[in-house]
Chain A
Amino acid sequence: MSAATPAAAEPLAARPTRGEVVRRVLQGDLASVRVILGLALIWIIFQSQNSNFLTAVNLTNLMLQITAVGLISVGIVYVLLLGEIDLSVGAVSGLTAAIMAVLNVKHGWNPYLSIAAGVICGMAIGSVQGALFTGFGIPSFVVTLAGLLVWQGALLYVLGDTGTINLTNPKITGLANTFYSDTVGWIMAAIAIGAYTASTLWAWRGRVRAGLADRQLTGPVIRIVIVAAAVIATVAVLNSDRGVPLAVLILVGFVAGMEYIARRTRFGRHVYALGGSAEAARRAGINIHAIRITVFAIAGSMAAIGGIMQASRLLAVNQSSGGNDLLLLAIAGPVIAGTSLFGGRGNVWSALLGALVIGSISNGMDLLNLQSSVKFMVTGGVLLAAVVVDALARRQRQAAGRL
């Protein structure tokens, strides 16, 4: 086996040449690399303007600021992969957080039950919107635009006369305000790196055994080193301030879990297939209605989880919860980070990367005492630039004979 495999495997798996890698970065297949370079540029610019930007305290604050948007974006990525849009996630995040708050504060429900009720409401709302969209063939844009209005009204109704509900339950406020000790942080880092290494090597071994990959370990090892370095750097920075926040753990956990579902499971494959060609998916016997409803249910659930984290961080739910620019930032993030608006291309990590880009811009401009007028315009400009890059990548793919 071991002697015969490399020769047999040679023609099967062509390794990408350097030119191929450059092409993939330009054409958007490796958009993440492009985004990380952009993020590095943003950080360098802000650091040169204000030396407080890249301090542990500020980077920890940045991570806490992006948790809610990042979680909502995870659901948005799934919707974008279908080539659809969900405009209701901001309103849903506000409404479900309010439901949790009312149940916990006014009705004295157990905090975990209240949180679960909020998430289940988000899931139900998403399912209904998904069913309306796929059942009646109404554009998702319209269904969720109507949803945006309805759920915003529902938020005001649920909050009632008081308008604001302060959260005091330590379990709920702890979601965004818990920090782990240095030791626990390093143990978690070790577990994360160990799990990634094991799964990468396991997959590599399976391919070698089946005679599918060449036996060079360079690729997997490089990936493991990059991931390990990123994890260690993050934990080191967080530990030198207050420690690893539970919020970051929740965000990274959802991103990793949902990325696994998108990339490695049958359901995820069907989501990508639907985004590529709904007709092809239907003819292949895929239940496209079920997939669409599930995806919108995921978007609603993630909106609820994001809304609850936001409420936990701000210690309150009020009439403007889930309002303002939350929706737009949650959609802009993944798009900036390379998830296509046209469906079928992208990944869940773009939710995290995009939130980091937007969060960094917002945080950096706060440090520079810029007004929100400037913040909005700059964020809008970055979004526009990212979409133009996406469109150019698409055109390049077409020019190269790829659709």
Chain B
Amino acid sequence: MNANGSLLALKGVSKRFGPVQALQDVDFEVRPGEVVALVGDNGAGKSTLVKTISGIYSADTGTMSFEGHPVSISSPAEAARLGIATVYQDLALCDNLDVVANLFLGREVVSGGLAELTRQLNEVDMEHQSHELLEQLAVTIPNVRSEVGNLSGGQRQQVAVARSLLGEPKVVLLDEPTAALGVAQTAQVLALIKRLRERGLGVVVISHNLADVFEVADRIFVLFLGRPGGTFEASDTTREDVVAAITGARRNGEAAHSDVAEEGG
């Protein structure tokens, strides 16, 4: 961990797709036990930034450091190895499998002894761990053996978030976790995000919903046309300031509150 305690820090990151400058000179950081909301209009570069962090895209220029060490993340597998987990907007769950199978998808627990030869699944152990994990996160799912396709949208989102935690990540990236959820389900998911913070994880949330952002975020990072549009402490910012930054009404954001980003650099 480096001096100013940042878990993940990006500095001067740019990314270009042909003629489109998707990201330009972006500095971004997340600290342990902090929820950073990533906001911006459509096409502002939020998804590109998240995909750069999670190893799907590689940045054209700029540096990235993780726990104070310079890293280059060239694939999702490498991001996962470092401890960066991503929960995608479209969830990426298998509806035909039950909750346990989805939680452990790709990292199934295999039985020991003779059964290891065939890579036999240790269902008992996986089910046990599933109960423990869901209990820790206060996620209530009536039956972990029910198919994920049977669950409500909020439950599915919570399963997706819980799954990302099985790899014991340090940073969790959530892409629009509350999109398309009802009021009660949104509250459940936001509560879950707060519990991630309590566990000391660095959390990055992409969201369009400013009510949700102010509810859960410690810091709000605005992107405008691929450039940093300002960083705000959620506690001493008004919604109007953030909206102004998102729409570019207050660009070149003499960024009254962008001191955090400066410090990160």
> Which chain A residues have a beta carbon within 8 Å of chain B's beta carbons?
12-14, 206-207, 209-212, 260-261, 264-267, 269, 272-273, 275-277, 279-281, 283-286, 344-345, 397, 400-403
**Bound CA span A284–B145, Å:** 20
Q: Closest residue of chain B to A287, judged by CB? A: B106
> Which chain B residues have a beta carbon within 8 Å of chain A's beta carbons?
76-77, 80, 88, 90-97, 101, 105-108, 110, 118-121, 124-125, 127-128, 131, 142-143, 145, 147, 149-150
Q: Closest residue of chain A to B101, judged by CB? A: A269
Q: Which of A209, A283, A286 has the most CB of B within 10 A?
A: A283
**Bound CA span A402–B93, Å:** 13
Shortest Cβ distance from B202 into chain A, in angstroms? Answer: 21
Residues on A with beta carbons closer than 8 Å to the beta carbon of B95: 276-277, 344, 402-403
**Bound CA span A345–B107, Å:** 21
Shortest Cβ distance from A31 into chain B, in angstroms? Answer: 14
Shortest Cβ distance from B34 into chain A, in angstroms? Answer: 25
Residues on B with beta carbons closer than 8 Å to the beta carbon of A212: 124, 127-128, 131
Residues on B with beta carbons closer than 8 Å to the beta carbon of A14: 142-143
* Contact between A280 and B121, CB atoms less than 8 A apart: no
* Contact between B88 and A283, CB atoms less than 8 A apart: yes
Residues on A with beta carbons closer than 8 Å to the beta carbon of B127: 210, 212
Residues on A with beta carbons closer than 8 Å to the beta carbon of B147: 402
Q: Closest residue of chain A to B125, judged by CB? A: A210
Q: Closest residue of chain A to B128, judged by CB? A: A210
Residues on B with beta carbons closer than 8 Å to the beta carbon of A286: 105-106
* Contact between B106 and A285, CB atoms less than 8 A apart: yes
Shortest Cβ distance from B222 into chain A, in angstroms? Answer: 28
Residues on B with beta carbons closer than 8 Å to the beta carbon of A401: 150
> A14-B142, A264-B120, A265-B121 are known contacts. Are A284 and B96 too (CB-CB below 8 A)?
no
**Bound CA span A207–B122, Å:** 11
* Contact between A269 and B121, CB atoms less than 8 A apart: yes
> A212-B128, A261-B118, A265-B119 are known contacts. Are A281 and B149 too (CB-CB below 8 A)?
no
Residues on A with beta carbons closer than 8 Å to the beta carbon of B142: 14
Shortest Cβ distance from B159 into chain A, in angstroms? Answer: 12
**Bound CA span A264–B118, Å:** 9
**Bound CA span A53–B58, Å:** 68
* Contact between B105 and A281, CB atoms less than 8 A apart: yes
> A207-B124, A285-B80 are known contacts. Are A273 and B97 too (CB-CB below 8 A)?
yes
* Contact between A285 and B94, CB atoms less than 8 A apart: no
Q: Closest residue of chain B to A267, judged by CB? A: B119
* Contact between B77 and A273, CB atoms less than 8 A apart: no
* Contact between B92 and A272, CB atoms less than 8 A apart: no
Residues on A with beta carbons closer than 8 Å to the beta carbon of B119: 265-267
**Bound CA span A266–B90, Å:** 24
Shortest Cβ distance from B91 into chain A, in angstroms? Answer: 8
* Contact between B128 and A284, CB atoms less than 8 A apart: no
Q: Closest residue of chain A to B93, judged by CB? A: A280
**Bound CA span A310–B119, Å:** 32
Residues on B with beta carbons closer than 8 Å to the beta carbon of A284: 92, 105-107
Shortest Cβ distance from A23 into chain B, in angstroms? Answer: 11
* Contact between B96 and A275, CB atoms less than 8 A apart: yes
Residues on A with beta carbons closer than 8 Å to the beta carbon of B93: 277, 280
Q: Closest residue of chain B to A273, judged by CB? A: B94
Shortest Cβ distance from A99 into chain B, in angstroms? Answer: 29
Residues on B with beta carbons closer than 8 Å to the beta carbon of A345: 96
Q: Closest residue of chain A to B146, judged by CB? A: A14
Q: Closest residue of chain A to B106, judged by CB? A: A284
Residues on A with beta carbons closer than 8 Å to the beta carbon of B150: 400-402
Interface pairs (5), CB distance under 8 Å: A210-B125, A266-B121, A269-B97, A402-B149, A402-B150
Residues on A with beta carbons closer than 8 Å to the beta carbon of B110: 266
Q: Closest residue of chain B to A342, judged by CB? A: B96
**Bound CA span A111–B127, Å:** 47
**Bound CA span A401–B93, Å:** 16
**Bound CA span A199–B246, Å:** 61
Partner of A265, one of B118, B131, B145: B118
* Contact between B120 and A272, CB atoms less than 8 A apart: no
Q: Closest residue of chain A to B160, judged by CB? A: A280
* Contact between A273 and B101, CB atoms less than 8 A apart: yes
Partner of A276, one of B90, B96, B131: B96
Shortest Cβ distance from A43 into chain B, in angstroms? Answer: 32
Residues on A with beta carbons closer than 8 Å to the beta carbon of B76: 283, 285
* Contact between B124 and A210, CB atoms less than 8 A apart: yes
Shortest Cβ distance from A374 into chain B, in angstroms? Answer: 38
* Contact between A273 and B128, CB atoms less than 8 A apart: no
Residues on B with beta carbons closer than 8 Å to the beta carbon of A260: 118
Q: Closest residue of chain A to B90, judged by CB? A: A279
**Bound CA span A342–B149, Å:** 15
Partner of A264, one of B91, B96, B97, B121: B121
* Contact between A280 and B96, CB atoms less than 8 A apart: no
Q: Closest residue of chain B to A279, judged by CB? A: B92
* Contact between A277 and B149, CB atoms less than 8 A apart: no
* Contact between A13 and B94, CB atoms less than 8 A apart: no
Q: Across chains A and B, which 4 residue pairs bring their CB atoms closest together, nearest first?
A: A284-B106, A276-B94, A344-B96, A276-B96
